[in-house]
Structure 1
Amino acid sequence: MRYSKILFLAAFLVLIGCQNKNKKSSDLNKKSAKIETSEKFNQFNIRFHSDSIFQISRIDFPIEGLSVSGFDRHKWTKENWEFMIIPVSEKNTIDEYEHSLIKNDSLVIERFWIPDSGFEVERQFKLIRNKWFLVYYNDINL
């Protein structure tokens, strides 16, 4: 009878140990499933500037920045949005414009301007919940 109690206790402990191991493994699988990879900016950049529906889906209107053309000045809304077709570029391909680019894992700021002309474009993209969004667009043409 004493051996049966010891055998029962040993079997019980083994069973509990297996359940804890399975629970830990299950918890680890759940945690790894929750880890999402961030969208790559280069892939986003290409799609954003070639797909108008995708572009609108990645702008939470109204965004910061203005459209200024002469005396006409307005904030950007979904109704007055102008589809952007020129992707963010590492280097300037148009000689008459100055160009700057600041790029890290969660923010991209690109600026074009012609010195002393009243022309300047600045756009900012931010990684939000592992997806890239346009959060700022200033288009000034005086």
Structure 2
Amino acid sequence: MTKYGLFVILLLAVAACKGGGKQEAASGEGLEEWKDFTTFYERFHQDSAYQMAHIIFPLEGLPQSADSATVASGTFRWTPETWTIQHSFNLQSNDFDHQLRPIGDDVVVEKLIHRSGDLAIVRRFARLGDEWYLIYYAGLNNIRQGEGINIDGGF
């Protein structure tokens, strides 16, 4: 397993403990349940065909720099034609804080928040059957309190 994969597992375990997740995550026993997500997450960013096959199109979300009309309509959807392949983030050399938050056993919410607190990207992944899929993507948008938009998509 790569160093990045171990980081994702540990981040999920810590998030599960802070969010009232299962106690075994604190003792290390729950790490195994996130191994399949970590494997998916790494491959999702390395293999473009795999990525396209693991996105539920039309994909709910928001484009980068969404305007208020797009947000208010709630009808924006990513399609295979409008999708840009996502690559892994170099978390050591950028200005974004990375958060992975499990919601139950089958949903993970990922946020990349600029250290200024003004900009963020949100992605949601869900386990459907035995596979993980991207089910929501909001591109880089202004989230500043009072001026920004809610890009969480109901979460």
Matches within 5 A, 1:46-125: 46-69=42-65, 75-86=77-88, 92-94=91-93, 96-103=95-102, 105-114=105-114, 115-117=116-118, 119-125=119-125
Q: Which runs of 5+ in 2 are unaligned?
A: 1-33, 71-75, 143-155
Question: Structure 1 residue 76: deviation in Å?
Answer: 1.1
Question: Structure 1 residue 67: deviation in Å?
Answer: 1.1
Q: Under a length normalisation based on structure 2, what TM-score does the superposition of the two structures give? A: 0.55
The separation in 1 between residues aligned to 2:49 and 2:60, in whole angstroms, is 20
Q: Deviations over 1:90-135 (max 9, x none)?
A: xx53563233221353111110112443x21011110001110000
- 1:23 is matched with which residue? none
Give the CA RMSD over aligned residues.
2.8
Q: Which runs of 5+ in 1 are unaligned?
A: 1-37
Question: Structure 1 residue 140: deviation in Å?
Answer: 2.6
The separation in 2 between residues aligned to 1:134 and 1:121, in whole angstroms, is 14
Q: Under a length normalisation based on structure 1, what TM-score does the superposition of the two structures give? A: 0.59
Would you identify which runs of 4 or more consecutive aligned residues in structure 1 move more than 4 Å? none
- 1:137 is matched with which residue? 137
The separation in 2 between residues aligned to 1:107 and 1:51, in whole angstroms, is 21
Residue 68 of structure 1 aligns to a residue in which SS? coil
1:121 partner amino acid: I
1:56 partner amino acid: M
Identity of aligned residues (%): 31
CA radius of gyration, larger in: 1
2:81 partner amino acid: E
The separation in 1 between residues aligned to 2:53 and 2:66, in whole angstroms, is 29
